Structure 1
């Protein structure tokens, strides 16, 4: 959710939809240098609503969002707040009487209220005040506001990660907002300054030693999951695939500090695996990553290309309707899920249409695209963010991105300090296409050469692995001619191809690790994909040889390696 003091920008707030949903709290994990906080997806029951009523509930009435629990004061007063990477303030106690619906008013009350006089800390306040505006100026029905007075008190997350003397807002007047907000974006005026306009929550966590540096990781999970996690000061290798791609933070469309990035490309992968890349104008490359916005918001020049391929039709209120069958594409006859793709640097994030297209409930018979057109700041909202794993590094003004997944276990790593605080060695433990060719155990790791048929010099390969115990290992060395043709969606120069073909290739095999090739500095194949090509986001390339010798040698060597490995 984006906020502004002078101009209301794009975003949407939300309301807790049930007492049970508001107070389901899972364990917060406090580690050495990090704090992992459960994040719950709050979504309404739409079964009794018509199509139009359903989209109003989700978007206009804002009953669909990600929440977490905080504790304020002594003894702790438990409050549920919206998790928002589009604004900077922490504030509580919205005016429930102005909630957009009766159900939201009830849910607003169930989310908890902070009563300063009930805290023995003691709190300080009220002092100073501020008006916060939220919404998309190009869509008036999203505009809301909150007037707050400032207090300071002790804040923790389910009893962990306590910070003292934390400044936050308590609402004195609000319109159309049904839950408090924890903003994690920089201040629109002061940016990333540590103490301005005051110490924001992430600043206080670092200053008071809860975390090492001002970094947080966000895992929202896909639409079929009910929960994710927010990790201050760390990341979870068990929740993404492959390497994290580092990209610099960008400012917003008006030059203001934002958690924004520059898009490299946008495309679509059909159920048959055909990849298409859309035209991306310079004016359409800047996007803000906003967990407080349900739908993504793009300029017409980019959005219309996506909507056209989805055969979406316009609906009342600026929304777009699509065939619900797109959410469950056929998997037979070699088909696969269909995806919208967003590329950041050399990392391509694939958003399944089951996430990107919203089901409005069993009575509607129609689905809405998770995308609307804006003339304001472009936003990638929850309809996109669910598919990615994002690490926001305030100190270095960088964002690290990977394809989200769930390996079924936690592998949290604390992040230290300094320029390279987010470790490049933190490779995700989950299997699957990572969107970055170097991460995938496919032939994309082999040298990329031109499609010109060449007779390459001989290549020596060595396979090593564990032997029959007692610390023994085996080693197989063989030399083979490399004559053949390589067909790749990305072509290197002939000089680079010759150099790559003559170098020695060494693989170390262990039962619990996967060898990857060195960091590839060539262009990602995904960025050059066109309609009708194969799914290049797995990084795969096809190989054709004039002789079977190479295949026979490789097959024999791998068979022998497997036999020795299992001795």
Structure 2
């Protein structure tokens, strides 16, 4: 009996439920627009131009250079907003990372990085923290190189293994990438240092276990589940969101959880029944595929569908492919409903419109964006933070499913 009690106590103390506070910052797209640089950036950083310019720099056979892989990732960085803190090495070196369900790699800038994006103490840009392998007693050099093509930015780096800490949770021998070359203004503008991917291993460019897989293998989380709670952009709450590793928090959502099976283990990909505007089924009436992506703030879909949707909500295009809405008309705009597993998830105009202020003027942008992402199952939609702010999301690696429930937000 005593040994059983000891075993139960050891099991309980050796795994943990870890809360990771998330901070929200203006997206790269918002920052570039405020500086008057967005139009030039989008012209110079389209995926086809970057492919021609930098493809030869990457190791042969780099998976992410294949058609369809980079077109989704361009939205990750242009519109990523929520990030949190991790540490690598012994003693710990701290980094801010995007916790991204739309990718599977962990990378941070290297102390050997030669790009402007890594910053220097004398540069006018914010200094990105850089990993110093030579200062870590637990670092293991790998020797292999990797390349990641993000559409709006590319990475070239080397692989290594070291101790990863997230809150009070410690994962040993975590594979990660040290980026040594980051061309493009995306990473210069970014407020975060790196990315921690939470997708499936098949999506990874860096060989070895992705972070959450490594945690499961080392049995350091209570359940094979992680969940996201994102606050509204007008919220004054602190923190701006939360990633819960090892479970879910029922205090943060209401009503039942609607579980949807993962249909392809790369992204967190699920089947979407249809998309309705003001109660009328308008898009993918016979069902389509969607990915649940915490790394982008937008909801994206096939170009033809999104252009029709923009018309239905009264959005007008700008010269750089964004869509503006008259802020005075928000109360009269239709609801947009996503039907998933037979359950309706409705967004009002206040929820799918992004408001940005320039000087004393407020602009309203559509939260929908065109993105033609190729997959064997057909074109993909992206359910980004515009959707995930309203619905608490649970990612169950044990049963390969995604759960949604209505998020509880403070009355504002």
One fold, TM greater than 0.5? yes
1:407/1:325 CA distance change after superposition, 3 Å: closer
User: Distance in 2 between the 1:202 and 1:50 partners?
Assistant: 36
State the partner residue of 2:153. Answer: 144
Q: CA deviation at 1:384?
A: 2.0
| CA deviation string 1:6-52 (max 9, x = no partner) | xxxxxxxxxxxxxxxxxxxxxxxx99642111111121696996696
Map 1:96-495; keep pairs closer than 5 Å: 97-99=115-117, 109=127, 111-120=128-137, 122-135=138-151, 143-158=152-167, 160-176=168-184, 177-178=186-187, 179-188=193-202, 197-225=207-235, 227-251=240-264, 257-269=266-278, 275-282=279-286, 285-327=288-330, 329=331, 339-363=335-359, 364-376=361-373, 377-406=380-409
Q: Tell me, yes or no, if the aligned pair for 1:149 and 1:172 is still in contact at 8 Å.
A: yes
Deviation at 1:208, TM superposition (A): 2.2
Structure 2 match to 1:93: 109
Question: 1:472-492 CA distances to partner (integer Å, 9 max, x unpaired)?
Answer: xxxxxxxxxxxxxxxxxxxxx
Contact 1:51 1:360 survives alignment (8 Å): no
Distance 1:118 1:365 in 2: 47
| Partner Cα separation in structure 1 for residue 335 and residue 372 of structure 2 | 25
Q: Does structure 2 retain, via aligned residues, the 8 Å contact 1:42–1:63?
A: no
Instruction: Report SS of the residue matched to 1:234.
Output: coil
| Distance of 1:56 and 1:215 partners within structure 2 | 41
Gapped regions of structure 2 (runs ≥ 5):
1-12, 43-73, 188-192, 374-379
SS across alignment from 2:399? coil
> Do the aligned residues in 1 keep the contact of 2:222 with 2:247 (CA within 8 Å)?
no
1:154-202 C-alpha deviation (Å, 9 max, x unpaired): 11124x10111111111121223423100000123689xxxx9422211
Q: Residue 79 of structure 1 aligns with which residue? A: 95
SS of 1:288's partner is strand
Gaps of at least 5 residues in structure 1 are 1-29, 136-142, 270-274, 331-336, 409-567
CA contact (8 A) 1:350 1:387 kept: no
Question: What is the DSSP-based 3-state SS (H/G/I as helix, E as strand, rest coil) of the residue aligned with 1:366?
Answer: strand
Distance (whole Å) between structure 1 residues aligned to residue 233 and residue 319 of structure 2? 24
SS in structure 2 at match of 1:203: helix
Structure 1 partner of 2:59: none
- Using CA pairs below 8 Å that are at least 6 residues apart, which structure has the higher relative contact order? 2
Change over 3 Å in CA distance of 1:387–1:54 after alignment to 2: farther
1:434-482 alpha-carbon deviations (Å, 9 max, x no partner): xxxxxxxxxxxxxxxxxxxxxxxxxxxxxxxxxxxxxxxxxxxxxxxxx
1:310-368 C-alpha deviation (Å, 9 max, x unpaired): 111111222111112345x28xxxxxx96422121133223342332122314455321
What TM-score do the two structures reach when normalised by structure 2?
0.74
Write the distance in 2 (CA, Å) between the matches of 1:405 and 1:57.
37
Query: RMSD across aligned C-alpha pairs, in angstroms?
Result: 3.4
Distance 1:101 1:171 in 2: 13
Check the 8 A contact 2:119/2:125 in 1, yes or no: no
What is the CA-CA distance between 1:306 and the residue it aligns to?
2.2
Which deviations, in whole Å up to 9, do the C-alpha atoms of 1:226-278 show, x marking residues without a partner?
Answer: 61111111101111120000111122xxxx62211111222245xxxxx3432
- Other-structure match for 1:43: 26
What's the counterpart of residue 47 of structure 2? Answer: none
More helix by share: 2
Secondary structure at the residue paired with 2:310?
helix
Q: Using a 3 Å threshold, how does the CA distance of structure 1 residues 371 and 407 change in structure 2: closer, same or farther?
A: closer
Structure 1 residues 49, 91: closer, same or farther in 2, change over 3 A?
A: closer
- Secondary structure of the equivalent of 2:202? coil
Distance 1:390 1:188, change over 3 A: same
Residues 343 and 281 of structure 1, relative CA distance in 2, 3 Å threshold: closer
Equivalent pairs counted in the alignment come to 346
**Cα distance per residue 1:109-154 (max 9 Å; x no partner):** 2x4221111112x21014212111123xxxxxxx321112111111
2-side partners of 1:203 and 1:339: how far apart? 38
State the alpha-carbon separation in 2 of the partners of residues 147 and 397 from structure 1.
Answer: 31
Q: 1:396 to 1:56 in 2, by over 3 A?
A: farther
| SS at 2:324 equivalent | strand
Distance 1:56 1:384 in 2: 29
How far does the alpha carbon of each residue in 1:378-435 deviate from its partner, in whole angstroms, 9 at most, with x for none? Answer: 3222222222111111221111111212379xxxxxxxxxxxxxxxxxxxxxxxxxxx
CA–CA separation in structure 2 for the residues paired with 1:62 and 1:48: 9
Structure 1 length-normalised TM: 0.55
